[in-house]
């Protein structure tokens, strides 16, 4: 599914349509959103470098990592970030987001950033100003695609950090104007779900055509302090579930899930393992019978005579209880359970006829008949 | 003392690696019942007793005075005053700053900007003196927030700027935070810190109740580094501790002799 995300971002936007946008969200129990982000970023970059994608360049807004980090990351994944292939520009919102260094430390900066990185990055010292941010993104993008119909991608490594400096409405405005810009091919951003209110997350999800959620497989180690002792913490896994919701233009929504595992070389996606699939299948109810009765079945059921229903029929019931009958049976030798014997209305009924052999035979008593046994 | 014998805490943080904390942020979260200050003391002592004389600590003390730390570290076998005189321990006494601020007109942000500028100058001066590994210790975040007039955004901005020093010059940050001073609505600050942290140490009382031989328990979470580090760490370790005058004992639950 990670591939289908990358494909969607690679294919880009149609003329007159909003650019596809990807929201990657994670939470503290599975804080691997950045791994997923860098995976998508490198895939997209290699597509751009190979000339396979609609976009010809990438503008990266770095809020949570330094530009040097990204240059190193892309190099490590075997991508050429050299100045010869001018395809990536980093808007550096990490180094000095509020202009503290610029305002108060003028001339004192000892920056040991190497030339390669500083060629690619452009410092932004007021990240709260969305209009300025927008114009610098577009300017950077136009820088390598020119004024034609060629498009570029925009990636934001943490909108969580952006929200600290601006309101959600201003940020939403920036993101929508990016999506609707004619030279933007696709956009992606990362957000930490549990740091924001639900409405903020919902706003991001509305603005994006693909939402990817990273979820932990095991319950949270942070639930409560009393959980600190649990041994499963020892194996807090780098595994999790990757849910993707893709919205098509016609409104069709496709939901897919995958497993992920964060390894040394990066995040790896695998289809949900077979045993989990079996469990999932067996959970789907396969009902072969009707839960409701038909009219005929209901009538038939109403006609069934339950085992003891025939005893009543309006007359007093005598049930042999073993004691009372002892005295009664002295008077007359009538069978004990024959209250309806000989009556016409009981014709065809089953009955039990019982004659006592003699009076010596003791009726049932509470005594245990086996109490003399020596076991 | 040249070398310290490794204990469970050091192993969990990853001190088997010579430079486990370079470019990383270590967050200690404690609570009212159990103070996490001893972890700071332990790490301070560790920084000074390692053979690398290039280790320097910049200490932002919001909660205690220098004499307090000096007294405790002396018991642990480390002379802070001497370290301060030799320039390996840079102490920012933020207690006095708090007082001057209340009477002054400076805003919360202004205080933090000023503090950051001081730190950056100190760090750059140290780097030029070829003191390679600078550790910034913050004791503690909640009082930092008080200094920022209660604005958690300013605290996060400040920490972000300190974080830029991590990647620029390879510092480390060790910060202490109190987990339970935040109400649920304000939880984002401590959550933000947890996202920011590379190593998270949670200190709490013993889950099963008060005991004579055990003072509390620790959970150390060592997060994996994205793709760049060769070693993939993602370990959570739980153990218990017993604080003595001259050090802390760490042991797995039930294994104390």
Q: What is the pLDDT of residues A144-184, one digit of tens each?
A: 766 677 888 999 998 999 998 899 999 999 999 999 988 89
Per-residue confidence band for A218, with pLDDT thresholds at 50, 70 and 90 = low
Per-residue confidence band for A283, with pLDDT thresholds at 50, 70 and 90 = low
Per-residue confidence band for A228, with pLDDT thresholds at 50, 70 and 90 = very low
Q: What ipTM goes with this model? A: 0.85
Would residue A370 count as lying in a domain?
yes
Please report the pLDDT score of residue B2 as a whole number: 36
Report the percent of chain B where pLDDT is more than 90.
23
Would residue A148 count as lying in a domain?
yes
CA geometry: angle A224, A229, A232, nearest 5 deg: 95
* Of the candidates B138, B110, B127, the residue with the CA atom closest to the CA atom of residue B36: B138
Contact B40, B139 (CB under 8 A): yes
Measured from the Cβ of residue A258, the count of other Cβ atoms closer than 10 Å reads 18
Residues A115 and A201 in one domain: yes
The DSSP secondary-structure symbol of A193 reads G
Mean pLDDT throughout A271-277?
A: 65
Q: Among A283, A318, A348, give the residue marking a domain's end.
A: A283
Mean pLDDT throughout B226-248?
A: 73
Q: Among A251, A283, A315, give the residue marking a domain's end.
A: A283
The CATH number of whichever domain residue A168 belongs to comes to 3.40.50.300
Residue A282 predicted with pLDDT over 60: no
Please report the pLDDT score of residue A284 as a whole number: 52
Mean pLDDT throughout B131-152?
A: 86
Please report the pLDDT score of residue A226 as a whole number: 40
Per-residue confidence band for A320, with pLDDT thresholds at 50, 70 and 90 = low
Residues A76 and A28 in one domain: yes
- Does the CB of A108 have a partner CB in chain B at under 8 Å? yes
User: Using CA atoms, how far apart are residues A119 and A65, in angstroms rounded to an integer?
Assistant: 17
Residues A12 and A153 in one domain: yes
Whether A104 sits inside 8 A of B121 (CB atoms) is no
Please report the pLDDT score of residue A267 as a whole number: 84
Please report the pLDDT score of residue A332 as a whole number: 52
Report the mean per-residue pLDDT for chain B. 82
Would residue A299 count as lying in a domain?
no
| A220 vs A265: which has the higher pLDDT | A265
| B224 vs B222: which has the higher pLDDT | B222
Mean pLDDT throughout B14-29?
A: 80
User: Using CA atoms, how far apart are residues B194 and A361, in angstroms rounded to an integer?
Assistant: 87
Residues A247 and A324 in one domain: no
Would residue A179 count as lying in a domain?
yes
Please report the pLDDT score of residue A340 as a whole number: 46
Whether A65 sits inside 8 A of B234 (CB atoms) is no
pLDDT by residue (tens digit) across A188-204?
999 999 888 899 999 99
- Does the CB of A72 have a partner CB in chain B at under 8 Å? yes
| B92 vs A231: which has the higher pLDDT | B92
Q: Which domains does chain B have, with CATH numbers?
A: 8-251 (3.40.50.300)
Residue B5 predicted with pLDDT over 70: no
Per-residue confidence band for A348, with pLDDT thresholds at 50, 70 and 90 = low
Collect all residues of chain B within an 8 Å Cβ-Cβ radius of residue A113.
Answer: 168
User: Using CA atoms, how far apart are residues A302 and B108, in angstroms rounded to an integer?
Assistant: 80
Collapsing DSSP states into helix, strand and coil, what is residue A22?
strand
Nearest CB to A76; choose among B160, B164, B228: B228
Residues A64 and A22 in one domain: yes
Mean pLDDT throughout B101-127?
A: 78
User: Using CA atoms, how far apart are residues A268 and B89, in angstroms rounded to an integer?
Assistant: 44
- Does the CB of A100 have a partner CB in chain B at under 8 Å? yes
What does the DSSP assignment read for A84-134?
TS--EEEEE-SS-TTSHHHHHSTTT------HHHHHHEEE-S-TT-HHHHH
Tokens of residue A269, six digits: 């996606």
Contact B28, B42 (CB under 8 A): no
* Of the candidates B142, B55, B114, B117, the residue with the CA atom closest to the CA atom of residue B90: B55
pLDDT by residue (tens digit) across A325-339?
545 555 555 554 544
Mean pLDDT throughout A117-128?
A: 84
Residues A333 and A208 in one domain: no
Collect all residues of chain B within an 8 Å Cβ-Cβ radius of residue A164.
Answer: 153, 156-157
Residues A165 and A228 in one domain: yes
pLDDT by residue (tens digit) across A18-70?
899 999 999 888 888 998 999 999 999 998 888 888 888 899 999 998 888 88
| Chain A residues 42-71 within an 8 A CB cutoff of chain B | 65-66, 68-69
Phi, psi of A265 (to 5 degrees): -85, 0
Contact B7, B46 (CB under 8 A): no
Please report the pLDDT score of residue A232 as a whole number: 41
- Does the CB of B219 have a partner CB in chain A at under 8 Å? yes
Residues A227 and A366 in one domain: no
Domain that holds residue A359: 307-375
Contact B62, B74 (CB under 8 A): no
Per-residue confidence band for B26, with pLDDT thresholds at 50, 70 and 90 = very high
Peptide bond connecting B140 to the previous residue in cis, omega within 30 degrees of 0: yes
Q: Among A283, A298, A318, give the residue marking a domain's end.
A: A283
Mean pLDDT throughout A309-338?
A: 58
Contact A43, A138 (CB under 8 A): no
Would residue A226 count as lying in a domain?
yes
CA A3 to chain centre: 19
User: Using CA atoms, how far apart are residues B199 and B135, in angstroms rounded to an integer?
Assistant: 14
Collect all residues of chain A within an 8 Å Cβ-Cβ radius of residue B192.
Answer: 195
Would residue A278 count as lying in a domain?
yes
Q: How far are the Cα atoms of A197, A325, B103, B214, B240 from residue B211, in angstroms, in the given order?
A: 40, 71, 45, 5, 11
Q: How many helices (H) and strands (E) does chain B have?
A: 9, 9
Would residue A288 count as lying in a domain?
no
Mutate one of B121, B153, B206, B219 to test the A interface: name it (highest A CB count within 10 A): B219
Question: CA of B43, closest CA in chain A: separation in Å?
Answer: 22
Report the percent of chain A where pLDDT is more than 70.
71
Residue B173 predicted with pLDDT over 90: yes
Residues A237 and A343 in one domain: no
Residues A228 and A262 in one domain: yes
Residue B219 predicted with pLDDT over 80: yes
Contact B2, B34 (CB under 8 A): no
Residues A148 and A58 in one domain: yes
Number of domains forming the structure of chain A: 2
Question: CA of B85, closest CA in chain A: separation in Å?
Answer: 25
Please report the pLDDT score of residue A125 as a whole number: 85
CA B84 to chain centre: 18
User: Using CA atoms, how far apart are residues B254 and B257, in angstroms rounded to an integer?
Assistant: 9
| B17 vs A71: which has the higher pLDDT | A71
Collect all residues of chain A within an 8 Å Cβ-Cβ radius of residue B219.
Answer: 221, 228, 233
Mean pLDDT throughout B199-222?
A: 87
Residues A271 and A158 in one domain: yes
Collect all residues of chain A within an 8 Å Cβ-Cβ radius of residue B111.
Answer: none
Would residue A19 count as lying in a domain?
yes
* Of the candidates A18, A372, A365, A29, the residue with the CA atom closest to the CA atom of residue A220: A29
What does the DSSP assignment read for A258-319?
EEEEEETTEEEEEPPPHHHHHHHHHHS----S-SS--HHHHHHHHHPPPTTGGGTTTS----
Sign of the CA dihedral running A204, A205, A210, A214: positive
Spell out the residues 6+ positions from residue A177 whose beta carbon is closer than 8 angstroms to its own.
A134
Collect all residues of chain B within an 8 Å Cβ-Cβ radius of residue A124.
Answer: none
């Amino acid at each position: 599914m990670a591939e289908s995300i990358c494909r969607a971002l690679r294919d880009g936007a149609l003329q007159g349509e909003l650019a596809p946008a990807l929201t990657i969200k994670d939470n503290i129990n599975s804080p691997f959103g950045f791994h997923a982000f860098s995976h998508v970023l490198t895939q997209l970059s290699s597509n751009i470098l190979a000339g396979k994608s609609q976009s010809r360049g990438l503008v990266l807004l770095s809020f949570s990592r330094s530009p040097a980090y990204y240059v190193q990351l892309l190099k490590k994944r075997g991508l050429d970030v050299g100045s010869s292939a001018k395809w990536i520009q980093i808007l550096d919102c990490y180094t000095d987001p509020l202009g503290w260094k610029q305002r108060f430390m003028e001339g004192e900066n000892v920056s040991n950033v190497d030339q390669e990185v500083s060629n690619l990055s452009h410092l932004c010292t007021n990240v709260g100003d969305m209009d300025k941010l927008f114009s610098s993104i577009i300017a950077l993008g136009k820088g390598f695609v020119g004024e034609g119909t060629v498009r570029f991608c925009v990636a934001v490594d943490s909108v969580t950090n952006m929200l600290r400096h601006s309101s959600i409405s201003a940020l939403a405005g920036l993101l929508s104007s990016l999506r609707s810009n004619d030279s933007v091919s696709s956009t992606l951003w990362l957000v930490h779900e549990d740091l924001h209110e639900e409405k903020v997350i919902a706003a991001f999800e509305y603005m994006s055509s693909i939402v990817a959620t990273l979820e932990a497989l095991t319950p949270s180690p942070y639930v409560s302090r009393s959980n600190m002792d649990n041994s499963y913490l020892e194996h807090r896994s780098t595994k999790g579930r990757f849910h993707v919701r893709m919205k098509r233009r016609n409104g069709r929504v496709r939901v897919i899930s995958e497993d992920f595992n964060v390894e040394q070389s990066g995040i790896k996606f695998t289809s949900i393992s077979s045993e989990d699939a079996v469990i999932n299948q067996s959970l789907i109810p396969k009902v072969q019978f009707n839960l409701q009765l038909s009219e005929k079945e209901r009538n038939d059921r109403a006609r069934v005579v339950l085992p003891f229903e025939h005893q009543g029929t309006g007359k007093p019931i005598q049930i042999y209880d073993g004691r009372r009958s002892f005295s009664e049976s002295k008077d007359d030798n009538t069978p004990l359970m024959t209250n309806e014997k000989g009556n016409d209305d009981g014709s065809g009924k089953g009955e039990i006829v019982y004659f006592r052999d003699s009076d010596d035979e003791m009726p049932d008593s509470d005594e245990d008949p086996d109490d003399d046994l020596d076991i | 003392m040249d070398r310290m014998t490794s204990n469970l805490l050091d192993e969990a943080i990853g001190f088997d690696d010579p430079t486990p904390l370079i470019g990383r942020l270590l967050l200690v979260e404690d609570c009212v019942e159990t103070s996490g200050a001893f972890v700071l003391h332990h790490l301070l002592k560790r920084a000074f007793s390692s053979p690398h004389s290039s280790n320097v600590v910049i200490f932002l003390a919001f909660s205690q005075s220098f004499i307090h730390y000096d007294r405790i570290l002396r018991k642990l076998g480390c002379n802070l005053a001497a370290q301060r005189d030799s320039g390996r321990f840079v102490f920012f006494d933020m207690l006095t700053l708090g007082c001057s601020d209340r009477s002054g007109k400076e805003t919360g942000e202004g205080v933090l900007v000023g503090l950051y500028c001081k730190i950056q100058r100190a760090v750059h001066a140290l780097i030029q003196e070829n003191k390679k590994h600078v550790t910034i210790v913050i004791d503690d975040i909640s009082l930092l927030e008080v200094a920022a007039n209660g604005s958690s955004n300013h605290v996060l901005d400040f920490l972000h700027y300190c974080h830029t020093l991590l990647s620029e010059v390879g510092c480390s940050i060790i910060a202490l935070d109190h987990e339970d001073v935040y109400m649920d609505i304000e939880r984002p600050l401590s959550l933000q810190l947890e996202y920011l942290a590379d190593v998270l140490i949670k200190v709490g009382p013993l889950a099963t109740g008060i005991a004579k031989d055990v003072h509390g328990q620790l959970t150390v979470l060592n997060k994996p580094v994205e793709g760049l580090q060769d070693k993939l760490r993602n370990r959570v370790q739980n153990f218990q501790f017993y604080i003595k005058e001259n050090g802390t004992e760490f042991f797995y639950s039930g294994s104390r002799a």
